[in-house]
A and B are shown apart, each in its own frame.
Chain A
Amino acid sequence: MGTQKNGLARERVFKIILSVVLAIICIIYILPIGTLVINTFKQSTYVKSETFALPNEQSFVGFDNYIKGMTFGNYDFWKTVLYSFTITILSTALILLFTSMAAWYIARVDNKICRAIYYLCVFSMVVPFQMVMFTLSKTADTLKLNTPWTIPIVYLGFGAGLAIFMFVGFVKSIPLEIEEAAVIDGCGPIRTFFLVVFPMLKPTMISVGILEIMWVWNDYLLPYLVLDRNLYRTIPLHIQYLQGSYGQVDWGATMALIFLGIVPVVIFYLICQKHIIKGVAAGAVKG
């Protein structure tokens, strides 16, 4: 009995030590973001020379970097935010609606053509973007898909694979009887899908939606190649533009914009944390 009690006490101490170690790792994990924040208040020349120092009398510039960043590179920052939001929301909505409809059809009709389409979608998941980037950007250009309002069609096309894969898997697990009852009650395919099936797809909708939002919001190369860059820039595109194409890089202003670009992501994460973590685990089949 005595040794067991001793063992329990030892385990408790061990657990406390572990918690402390993990807390320290946590702080190290947040440090890059903290460093980012303090550098948004420094004059540009100090960002890479006094990276880890808090802003002092010489380097502190208040909100100058933010103000400068708003029109940095002769491009209004609010426009990049607007375009990022437009593209992300439209693409995700389009993907959720059309792939869930297609997935239901594929899973229920289940003939040779449907199976072929399904396997083609699964196949598209293993194709890296570089394989199609040149031809896709040319096709998108020809079809005038180079605006924030039309690029969602490209996202629907290139992102369909994972969504179809996840929706088909889920539809197959729904018992057929519910839909049959709806058909017997006189529902046509449209009403059967939107009134009966669509609400049942909610958990997969959330998972797919989150994966698509994370992908589209952060995507760089596809919008870079497809969008008309002089008119339309998303946040990652704008930041790369400021870093890549100017001789003298303004690190202070860039860091301010990077921070502003991260804020929506962090808010989104803190609100939907549970769903995000679940969605990511569900979509773990693809990188």
Chain B
Amino acid sequence: MKRSRDLRKGPIRRAWWLFILPMMAAFAIGFVWPFIQGIYLSFCTFVTTSDAKINGIMNDNSFFHNYIKAFQDPTFVRAFWYSALFAIVSLVIINVLAFTLAYLLTQKLKGTNIFRTVFFMPNLIGGIVLGYIWSMIFDGILYFYGKTLVTEPVWGFWGLIIVVAWQQIGYMMIIYIAGLQAVPEDMLEAAKIDGANKWQTLWRVTIPNVMPSITICTFLTLTNGFKLFDQNLALTNGLPKPFVNGVPVGQTEMIALNIYNTFYVGSTSRGVAQAKAVVFFILVAALGLLQLAATRKKEVQQ
């Protein structure tokens, strides 16, 4: 203990400018400053960062003007609930399929390695590229009915679900495989000797033992669902966009895309866009904290 303190006081500590300064400088440029400025701008009216006027102090708006506007915006409210629905549906589908595949691939079948390789591969292809490949496929199918993916909102929804599932099942499967391989062999043996059938063993022994993996995958798919942007942009771009009470409302527009459009399409309400971004951040951060709490609790139990 004493010697470790020596290392702390030694020449290492004096070399901070070499070891920590480059990373901190970039971190300040790439994260800390934009983050602080982002919070600040969510209370301002602005087009660019240099003409920002603080609401309620430098103009006649109320201080929370941007936040009030954000929650009054029907496109944002819709995007919020749409993302929530999407996140939950994708969570269930991806996790059930990924777990099933992982379970099958840990049964010592022939060709397991090839299957794993193939199922994981879509994960490496980026969202934009993936979106256009699937856009071609969906439109190719719907062509027979004289429609496209963006004629009906419901197709856009399931289209996005299929794309995201195709991409993420392999990823979650890898995490589940790691979890399943860590289930103690003797516990499974004991269950077999006690006369448990496969179904009972799965529910009573295997699943309780892979709970940590289930927690990780649940939160990953949930936050991925909320944060989805590239696929949304490439596949539907929020279309169809009918007028609802005089306002065009993207029927398949998710939160991230809604924020992006508020910022860069028209660019007259960037303060509101930044306020939406803060709300979005709080939502995603809350999910992250929940995950942390959930995994901590599991660690204590074991």
Contacts and interface: CB of A to CB of B under 8 A. Distances in A.
Contact of A255 (B23, B136, B285): B136
Interface in A115-135: 117, 120-121, 124-135
Given A102-B19, A108-B12, A251-B136, A133 B263 contact: yes
Given A124-B35, A153-B29, A261-B129, 13 more contacts: A22-B111, A39-B136, A114-B20, A126-B285, A126-B289, A132-B31, A135-B33, A135-B37, A220-B233, A239-B128, A239-B132, A243-B234, A262-B125
A138 interface: yes
A51 B31 contact: no
Among B18, B105, B110, B277, find the residue whose CB has the most chain A CB atoms closer than 10 A: B277
Interface stretch (B3-11, B63-71, B152-160, B202-210): B3-11
B27 A157 contact: yes
Name the prevailing secondary structure of the A interface residues: helix
A190 B104 CA distance: 49
A261 B26 CA distance: 29
A196 B199 CA distance: 51
Contacts of A154: 26, 29-30
Interface string B252-264: 0001100110010
A15 interface: yes
A192 B12 contact: yes
Interface in B239-284: 255-256, 259-260, 263, 270, 273-274, 277-278, 280-281, 284
A287 interface: yes
A105 B20 contact: yes
A26 B118 contact: yes
A254 B136 CA distance: 11
A41 interface: no
B238 interface: no
Interface size class of B (residues with CB under 8 A): 35 or more
B29 A143 contact: yes
Interface in A236-284: 236, 239-240, 243, 251, 254-255, 258, 261-262, 265-266, 268-269, 273, 276-277, 280-281, 284
Interface string A58-72: 000000000000000
Among A33, A217, A262, find the residue whose CB has the most chain B CB atoms closer than 10 A: A262
Interface string A73-108: 000000000000000000000000011011011101
B34 A132 contact: yes
B12 A269 contact: no
A47 interface: yes
Contact of B27 (A30, A121, A262): A121
A284 B179 CA distance: 12
B171 A126 contact: no
Interface of A: 15, 18-19, 22-23, 25-26, 29-30, 32-33, 35-36, 39, 47-52, 98-99, 101-102, 104-106, 108-111, 114, 117, 120-121, 124-136, 138-140, 143, 145, 153-161, 164, 176, 179-180, 183, 188-190, 192-193, 214, 217-221, 235-236, 239-240, 243, 251, 254-255, 258, 261-262, 265-266, 268-269, 273, 276-277, 280-281, 284-285, 287
A230 to B, nearest CB: 17
A131 B284 CA distance: 11
Contacts of B263: 133-134
B281 A128 contact: yes
A196 B139 CA distance: 56
A35 B136 contact: yes
Interface string B27-57: 1111111110110010000001100000000
Contacts of A50: 140
Interface in B160-207: 166, 171, 174-175, 178
Contacts of A15: 107, 109-110
Interface of B: 3-4, 7-8, 10-16, 18-20, 22-24, 26-35, 37-38, 41, 48-49, 101, 104-105, 107, 109-111, 114-129, 132-134, 136-137, 139-141, 143, 166, 171, 174-175, 178, 216, 220, 223-224, 227, 229-230, 233-234, 255-256, 259-260, 263, 270, 273-274, 277-278, 280-281, 284-285, 287-289
Among B27, B114, B117, find the residue whose CB has the most chain A CB atoms closer than 10 A: B27
Contacts of A121: 27
A69 to B, nearest CB: 13
Given A15-B109, A183-B7, A261-B129, A284 B119 contact: no
Given A183-B10, A236-B129, A281-B175, A36 B136 contact: yes
- Name the 9 nearest CB pairs between A and B, nearest first: A157-B30, A51-B140, A218-B126, A126-B288, A102-B23, A157-B26, A135-B34, A132-B34, A105-B19
Contact of B30 (A30, A48, A156): A156
Contacts of B28: 157
20 contacts: A18-B107, A22-B101, A22-B115, A29-B118, A29-B119, A117-B20, A124-B31, A127-B31, A131-B278, A136-B31, A145-B29, A161-B31, A180-B3, A189-B15, A218-B230, A236-B128, A239-B128, A280-B120, A284-B175, A287-B227
